Amino acid sequence: MNRVGSATAGIDPKLLARFRDARVLVVGDVMLDRYWFGEVSRISPEAPVPVVKVERSDERPGGAANVARNAAALGAKVALLSVVGDDEAGSTLNRLLATDGIEARLHRDPTIATTVKLRVIGRQQQLLRIDFETPPSHEVLANKLVEFRTLLSGYDVLILSDYGKGGLTHVAEMIQAGRAAGKTVLVDPKGDDYSRYRGATMVTPNRGELREVVGRWKSEDDLAARAERLRAELELDALLVTRSEEGMTLFQPGARVHEPTKAQEVYDVSGAGDTVIAALGVALGAGISLPLAVRIANYAAGIVVGKLGTAVVHPDELAAALAAAS
């Protein structure tokens, strides 16, 4: 175990002020999380289903857009490169991201619908979720890759947020270009083919995602052996496994650092992984060392799971949590 310093959980609070210097470019699959709330007072005459009279709605940026939102809330300068449809949901995402101070570079693909997850909520429960999604076209993805190459020089950290919707078709080229330009490249992975992530600085699977590629582990040592094998095979500097209520473990060549969760209360764990990779990106972009960045990300995740809905963490909340821990 790595113990660093003594003040505020080993983290000098002055480090948090450096977050403003971080410049983070997020690329990945964006989506719009939409909620329709209403009253249910009768069953439909057309089919045995409830009729919901919608009274209120709510919308939040999801996926890579939630990563960008989390990085901006921590104080970083953030750009987001992605693809949406030429539709109302795409415009809504653009507007929400602008409100959060994010430079949204959303390529409009007229042949697709923006990814939307619509939840219909009545009587305090989710009655139905409706998903709209189509993979972006080759032409739009190629244009996006061209813009990626021109944007890259203005950022220190590249976060690739893969939600498996097709927006990261060119992930291997992006990692290669990022590393060649000396950038820190972080990947939140999806699927069972991690060869696409070869050469990244760090990949951040959760337990289930890691299990999908290395199989089930029988002990901590077994996990460490499997994680190290994967890290070496993919030529990563580090592998971070996020482990829900168990916190997270960082694997670097010959070293393993475990951070137990700092969550006090758990209300909503959705989006915790987005907060983790955003906080890592911001901390590394601010020049903070990897083990300390992981510790900061773990505190940020501990705060965000105590909030309802996919939420963000602000530097003052992080400072308070660190101070309370010391």
Q: Which of 91, 94, 143, 270 binds ligand ATP (CB under 6 A)?
A: 270
> Helix, strand, coil proportions of the chain in percent (round to 5)?
40, 30, 30
User: Considering CB distances under 5 to 8 angstroms, the limit depending on partner class, which of Mg ion, ligand ATP, none binds residue 17?
Assistant: none
137 binds ligand ATP (CB under 6 A): no
By rule CB under 6 A, what count of residues binds ligand ATP?
21
Question: What radius of gyration do the chain's Cα atoms show?
Answer: 20
Which of 75, 122, 136, 273 contacts Mg ion by CB under 5 A? Answer: 273
Is residue 18 near ligand ATP by the rule CB under 6 A? no
| Cβ pair 229, 210 in contact under 8 A | no
Pairing of strands 184-188, 202-203: parallel
List, in order, residues 6 or more apart from 70 with CB less than 8 Å away: 271, 274, 275, 278, 279, 300, 304, 312, 313
**Binding partner of 167, given ligand ATP, Mg ion, none, CB within 5-8 angstroms per partner class:** none
Q: Does 269 bind ligand ATP (CB under 6 A)?
A: yes
Q: How many other C-beta atoms are found inside a 10 Å radius of the C-beta of residue 206?
A: 18
Given the complex with ligand ATP, which of 51 and 224 has the nearer CB atom?
224
Cβ 178 vs Cβ 39: under 8 Å: no
Residue number, nearest CB to ligand ATP: 273
Annotated catalytic residue 109: no
How would you class 284 by CB atoms within 10 Å of its CB: exposed for 0-12, middle for 13-18, buried for 19 or more?
A: buried
Q: Which of 33, 109, 162, 274 is catalytic?
A: 274
Binding residues among 234-263 for ligand ATP as defined by CB under 6 A: 242-245, 247-248, 261, 263
Interacting residues toward ligand ATP by CB under 6 A: 206, 242-245, 247-248, 261, 263, 266, 269-274, 276, 298, 301-302, 305
